[in-house]
Amino acid sequence: MDGDDLSTPQPNDELSRSELSDTELKSLAAPREKVRTFPTTPGVYLMKDAQGRVIYVGKAVNLRSRAGSYFTKAAEIEFRTAKLIPEIADIDYIDADSEVDALLIEARLIKDIQPRFNAMLKDDKTFPYLQITTHEDFPRVEFTRQPETSGVKLYGPFTNAGQLRGTIAVLQRIFRFRTCTLDIAENDERWRWFRPCLLASIDQCTAPCNFRISKEDYREDIRRLRIFLDGGKTSLLKEMASDMLQASKELKFEKAARIRDEIESLKSLSLRGDLESHAQPEVFYIDPKKGLAGLKKVLKLNEIPRRIEGVDIAHLQGSETVAGLVQFIDGMPFKPGYKRYKIQSVEGVDDYASMREVITRRFRRLTQEGESFPDLLLIDGGKGQLSAVMETFKMLNITPPTTISLAKREEEIYLPGESEPLRLSRHAFSLRLLQYVRDEAHRFAQHYHHVLRRKTTFDDKGKKGRRRRGDV
């Protein structure tokens, strides 16, 4: 996925000579040939006009493929690139260690150079930024389209909102900064009794909301993050190595181990830079706290639902039927809690029976192992799917958690025992959170279904029947 919002033409298309003048064709020949020498690694490409001015900056996972796609028939006739193509007189590139690094380099260059076509070719005129607060005891890192004018350090603008969110998720695993909106004061003793979110439990935040880290140590983490964002990865690694040795000499082995792990994470960032594969799907378009508060209100719950599970069924005319179960904690996807099921007892198309099998296997196992139930269970479907699930709980003699279903067509919410569905505003935070859970469950189930179909299609007998990681 590239950092620009231009269409992605197919690299194999031939350049249309009928649409361009001889002069334009000649001007394109040099950059077109030059692109063929580009590496197939991540980086940033810079398009220049005849005067040598940079007119467009873009990010690529594969420099040769992405930059080469502009010199194709599809790019030439695409209305968003048609004006750019004739002005390209030269093209250069900058290597990057990973997709994450490329994204950050692209943002810095766009901010510094302000290429003309980067502004002209944007659909959304509001650019996203990475914003670090500087006036707080414990600075927070956040995604924003409306950056503050003071009290913050800004990085950007970025050209792709989804990838910026993914980058923040990747960097958070290394530097463990907070992204919440809590107003945490160092001397406010009330925070000592605050319950941290699950990011602290999975070691993605140092939990300043519970004073698990000092103000000085937390701000040191933020300082290192800023060095990295400013392009000082090499110097940062040297500094951290020195700090690790010093901590070891002072017998602060826990601190030394933590710095060691951070160093290894930074060194392997190129392996983790595939945002599509390695970042949690935290492309979150609403405030999760508002979504959770809305669910508590509209569903009349006693407590905010901290753990939500969503279930969906996927198949092709009854073949290779599977189910995907996703888990959200504090309104955010929690990938370690994702599960996938290959339906075993159902033949043909029977979504109700498939859903009954999944619910039986999931909750029977939770009961046997003494594990807690989710605060909210979301079923993809309408009244029929919900009824099948509630009948399953009754058959198992299990008191169900709060269970609802969400129908796609009208986005109606069905509740047990209610004859009429709950209809919310399309802009309601609670509905948008439910949609996010439902859509993620659908994506996860469909992915597993496609995996099994490919195995069947290619008749991979050597692997057939092997249990895949995550199967339940």
pLDDT band at 286 (very low <50, low <70, confident <90, very high): low
Q: What is the pLDDT of residue 139?
A: 94
Higher pLDDT, 209 or 466: 209
Q: What is the pLDDT of residue 325?
A: 94
Over residues 8-53, the pLDDT tens digits come to: 333 333 333 344 455 444 455 688 888 889 999 989 999 998 888 8
- Of the listed ranges 90-94, 273-277, 299-303, 309-313, the least confidently predicted one is 273-277
Higher pLDDT, 417 or 161: 417
3-state helix, strand, coil in the chain (%, to 5): 45, 15, 40
Question: Residue 161's beta-bridge partner residues?
Answer: none
- Of the listed ranges 75-79, 168-172, 426-430, 456-460, the least confidently predicted one is 456-460
pLDDT band at 320 (very low <50, low <70, confident <90, very high): confident
Q: What is the pLDDT of residue 314?
A: 87
pLDDT band at 305 (very low <50, low <70, confident <90, very high): very high
Q: Which domains does the chain have, with CATH numbers?
A: 22-120 (3.40.1440.10), 129-277 (no CATH), 288-457 (3.30.420.340)
C-alpha gyration radius of the chain: 26
Question: Residue 308's beta-bridge partner residues?
Answer: 328, 376
Res. 451: pLDDT tops 60:
yes
How far is CA 147 from each of CA 130, 141, 144, 350, rounded to the nearest angstrom?
9, 12, 6, 50
pLDDT band at 275 (very low <50, low <70, confident <90, very high): very low
Residues 6+ apart with CB under 8 A from 117: 47, 55, 56, 83, 84
Res. 428: pLDDT tops 80:
yes
What pTM, to 2 d.p., does this model score? 0.44
Higher pLDDT, 360 or 72: 360
Q: What is the pLDDT of residue 355?
A: 92
Average pLDDT over residues 247-266: 82
Res. 281: pLDDT tops 70:
no
- Minimal CA–CA distance to 209: which of 235, 170, 177? 177
Single-letter amino acid, residue 418:
E
Res. 380: pLDDT tops 80:
yes
Average pLDDT over residues 60-77: 83
Higher pLDDT, 316 or 279: 316
Helix intervals (H) in 180-300: 198-201, 215-229, 233-249, 253-267, 269-272, 275-278, 288-298
Q: What is the pLDDT of residue 259?
A: 82
pLDDT band at 216 (very low <50, low <70, confident <90, very high): very high
Higher pLDDT, 175 or 377: 377
Res. 398: pLDDT tops 90:
yes
Q: What is the pLDDT of residue 308?
A: 95
Q: What is the pLDDT of residue 301?
A: 94
Over residues 98-126, the pLDDT tens digits come to: 887 888 888 888 877 888 888 654 544 46
Other C-beta atoms lying within 10 Å of the C-beta of residue 195? 9
Average pLDDT over residues 205-234: 89
Higher pLDDT, 464 or 312: 312
